[in-house]
Amino acid sequence: MIPVKAYAAQSPSSALAPFQFERRDLKEHDVLVDILFSGVCHSDLHQARDEWGGSMYPMVPGHEIVGKIIKTGVQVKKFSPGDLAGVGVMVDSCRECRPCKNYMEQYCAEGMTGTYNNYERDRVTIAQGGYSTRIVCDERWVYHISDKLDLAGVAPLLCAGITTYSPLKYAGVRPGHKVAVAGLGGLGHMAVKFAVAMGAEVTMLSTSPSKANDALKLGAHHFVLSKDAAAMKKLESHFDVVLDAVSGNHDYEIYLKLLDVQGKLLVVGLPKEAPRVSPFELIKNRRCILGSMIGGTLETQEMLDFCAEKNIVADVEVIPMHYINEAYERMLKNDVKYRFVIDMASLK
């Protein structure tokens, strides 16, 4: 077994604290990754505090992982020791069902194996995430990372990046499209970068007036305060796509109203309470609400290659491991610019 240092939550109400555990020895298709950076997703906070129900403890969160391969199993083809590597939100799936055969493992009929807060395929071991020094993972769920990009800025691509790239691509965002992004946090700021890179005219919808300049610096063409009823009224039936990356409780209606004929509301945010939807707003303009969960293994590699080609990384605030509880509190106050990333050297 492989000893690992980590930070874990022991219960929904306990702060994250130092924790040690062991990872499995390498199976033939496994790689061992020395973790350099680990991004902090709002889903980490939702799960550590059991906001979605069913959380498993002890829990080592973290599913935006970048590091270096230090060892490979005997059958590994994709990687050699010394290669840069990324691990995202899932680490396994059944591999046999239709979604798995189509490399959409996040929709596995038996349920994907999440990187943490999930049982491994053996249904006994609890998977543990990236707030740790090392991780063992089957090579199918490990990605190549370009050495041209800033590694701390790459870590958030493994969740915030793929979760916004995948639905924007599925919605066919292209030049001439008007796209709005709601919620300027980790996911929202990546959505702005991708929608701009795909050629759309992009509007940021935010509850925080202080983020206006940053939104424009990120590439958004317009910034609108979502609490400004008059400004929102002017945008009714205006957009082809609205991407909802809001973490807190809210109704879909204020964003639905903004959609033009056959417009799509792309839902990625996962608040605790189910949002309200008016069927009248839905049938008007033949609007559509479309949910999306991360992205499959092939699409994740495609997104990472797209980022390397277009020089896209997340805007990050690098923190030491022991700052994590303060980082969670700041995330709840919408005070993140725009992703916390843990420098794992602080734990070694």
Distance (Å, whole) CA 61 – CA 21: 14
47 binds, among ligand NAP, Zn ion, none (CB under 5 to 8 A by kind): none
- Taking CB positions, which residue lies at the least distance from ligand NAP? 185
Distance (Å, whole) CA 262 – CA 172: 13
Asked if residues 92 and 146 have their Cβ atoms less than 8 Å apart, the reply is no
Asked if 243 touches ligand NAP (CB under 6 A), the answer is no
Q: Measuring CA to CA, how many Å separate 304 from each of 35, 57, 166?
A: 18, 32, 12
Asked if 46 touches ligand NAP (CB under 6 A), the answer is yes
One residue of 8, 41, 136, 242 binding Zn ion per CB under 5 A = 41
Write down the residue that tokens 């039936």 correspond to.
Answer: 237
Asked if residues 101 and 126 have their Cβ atoms less than 8 Å apart, the reply is no
Structure tokens at 319: 């923190």
Decide whether 140 or 257 has the Cβ nearer to Zn ion.
Answer: 140
One residue of 86, 130, 186, 263 binding ligand NAP per CB under 6 A = 186
Asked if 294 touches ligand NAP (CB under 6 A), the answer is yes
What is the 3-class SS of 136-156, one letter each residue?
EEEHHHEEECCCCCCHHHHHH
**Which residues 318-337 are close enough to bind ligand NAP by CB under 6 A?**
331, 334, 336
Decide whether 47 or 133 has the Cβ nearer to ligand NAP.
Answer: 47
Write down the residue that tokens 């690098």 correspond to.
Answer: 318
Asked if residues 347 and 45 have their Cβ atoms less than 8 Å apart, the reply is no
Indicate the DSSP class of residue 132. B
One residue of 33, 36, 127, 159 binding Zn ion per CB under 5 A = 159
Asked if 149 touches ligand NAP (CB under 6 A), the answer is no
One residue of 86, 114, 269, 296 binding ligand NAP per CB under 6 A = 269
Furthest CA-CA distance within the chain: 63
177 binds, among ligand NAP, Zn ion, none (CB under 5 to 8 A by kind): none
Structure tokens at 13: 């109400």
- In one-letter notation, the amino acid at residue 91 is V
93 binds, among ligand NAP, Zn ion, none (CB under 5 to 8 A by kind): Zn ion
Asked if 108 touches Zn ion (CB under 5 A), the answer is yes
Structure tokens at 10: 């022991």
Gap between the terminal Cα atoms of the chain: 18
Asked if residues 51 and 122 have their Cβ atoms less than 8 Å apart, the reply is no
- In one-letter notation, the amino acid at residue 83 is D
Decide whether 133 or 164 has the Cβ nearer to Zn ion.
Answer: 164
Size of the site for ligand NAP (CB under 6 A): 33
Decide whether 186 or 296 has the Cβ nearer to ligand NAP.
Answer: 186
Distance (Å, whole) CA 278 – CA 256: 9
> x/- binding map, residues 59-98, to Zn ion, per CB under 5 A?
----------------------------------xx--x-
Decide whether 78 or 207 has the Cβ nearer to ligand NAP.
Answer: 207
**Which residues 270-289 are close enough to bind ligand NAP by CB under 6 A?**
270-271
In the complex, the residues that contact ligand NAP under the rule CB under 6 A are 41-43, 46, 159-160, 163, 183-188, 206-208, 211, 245-250, 268-271, 292-294, 331, 334, 336
In the complex, the residues that contact Zn ion under the rule CB under 5 A are 41, 43, 93-94, 97, 100, 108, 159
